[in-house]
């Protein structure tokens, strides 16, 4: 995992990389949720939110309808989650609005909480914690279009980009290795999806860029199937990437399993053209603010999959497909 903040790793991940959950005790004085800071026993039924006060809606933008649509897009995959837009307020910065939402769980298993974020003047981005994220009724549309143009890694499944799942991964990343079992399940459960492996070798992994270059050449010389055979073998032998000599043995073995000539692949991997392809993949990830590996982008929606149960991941993909009108 790379540059993954505590927000990303804890509460943020629980709501599918959409907004941070901030406990009510951390609220500010403006538009405070009633009794939010008082200790309470764990709820046993769905919370009933108090009716929002119109006086708490002082900002002209975004509208309450847009915020509700955004939250539904972000959280709607979870049938048990309920929310109420509590306030949309002006701030001391012209055009920046603070949004507060009350969030609960229909089953009563989780204590209600408060989510706060700031919407920027362009109406297309929000700031939550230390992250800038897309906002609006269709927050993932721009990133989806960008990846449809630029995600050029090997893929399995459909040639169509109607449902495109882009995996940003590093061959030397242990979390990426652990995620491959779920990626294989996704390929089975979503046969009409286009599942792209997008190389993102991290600078702290000395052999990751070389492994990525080998992968580019395996795909170029042997095609998609050869690449995924190679990738599976590299992840299986990931411990061998701990040293330069071990990496050579591991990569050559993986190339052989893909029924290609290791010598030819090694020559290809060392060319400026191949190195430029790997660097372009890194630039794509940075341009899109990809800040962890492995990371999936489902039709533009970023989903951190480290530790996420497979059924939750599947729910998110099914929901995003439904939002985009994909059968």
Is residue 29 pLDDT above 60, yes or no? no
Burial class (CB in 10 A: 0-12, 13-18, 19+), 199: buried
- Global model pTM greater than 0.75: yes
CATH of domain 142-323: 3.40.30.10
Is residue 21 pLDDT above 60, yes or no? no
Q: What is the pLDDT of residues 227-256, one digit of tens each?
A: 999 999 999 999 999 999 999 999 999 999
Is residue 145 pLDDT above 90, yes or no? yes
The residue with greater pLDDT, 304 or 253, is: 253
The residues spanned by each domain of the chain are 6-138, 142-323
């Amino acid at each position: 995992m790379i540059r993954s903040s505590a927000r990303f790793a804890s509460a943020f991940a629980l709501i599918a990389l959409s907004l941070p959950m901030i406990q009510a005790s951390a609220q500010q004085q403006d538009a405070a949720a009633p009794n939010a800071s008082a200790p309470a026993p764990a709820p046993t039924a769905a919370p009933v939110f108090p009716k929002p006060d119109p006086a708490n809606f002082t900002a002209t933008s975004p509208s309450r309808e847009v915020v509700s649509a955004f939250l539904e897009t972000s959280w709607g995959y979870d049938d048990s989650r309920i929310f109420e837009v509590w306030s949309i307020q002006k701030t001391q910065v012209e055009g920046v609005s603070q949004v507060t939402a009350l969030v609960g769980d229909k089953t009563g298993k989780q204590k209600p909480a408060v989510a706060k974020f700031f919407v920027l003047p362009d109406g297309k981005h929000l700031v939550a914690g230390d992250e800038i994220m897309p906002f609006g009724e269709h927050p993932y549309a721009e990133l989806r279009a960008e990846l449809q143009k630029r995600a050029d890694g090997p893929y399995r499944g459909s040639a169509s980009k109607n449902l495109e799942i882009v995996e940003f991964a590093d061959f030397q990343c242990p979390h990426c290795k652990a995620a491959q079992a779920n990626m294989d399940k996704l390929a089975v459960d979503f046969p009409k999806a286009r599942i792209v492996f997008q190389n993102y070798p991290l600078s702290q992994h000395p052999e990751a860029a070389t492994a990525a270059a080998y992968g580019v050449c395996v795909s170029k010389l042997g095609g998609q199937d050869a690449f995924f055979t190679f990738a599976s073998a590299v992840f299986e032998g990931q411990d061998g990437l701990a040293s330069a000599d071990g990496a050579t043995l591991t990569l050559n073995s993986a190339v052989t399993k893909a029924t290609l000539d290791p010598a030819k692949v090694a020559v290809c991997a060392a060319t400026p053209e191949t190195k430029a392809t790997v660097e372009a993949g890194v630039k794509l990830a940075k341009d899109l603010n990809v800040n962890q590996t492995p990371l999936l982008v489902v039709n533009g929606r970023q989903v951190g999959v480290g530790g996420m149960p497979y059924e939750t991941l599947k729910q998110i993909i099914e929901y995003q497909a439904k939002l985009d009108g994909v059968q």
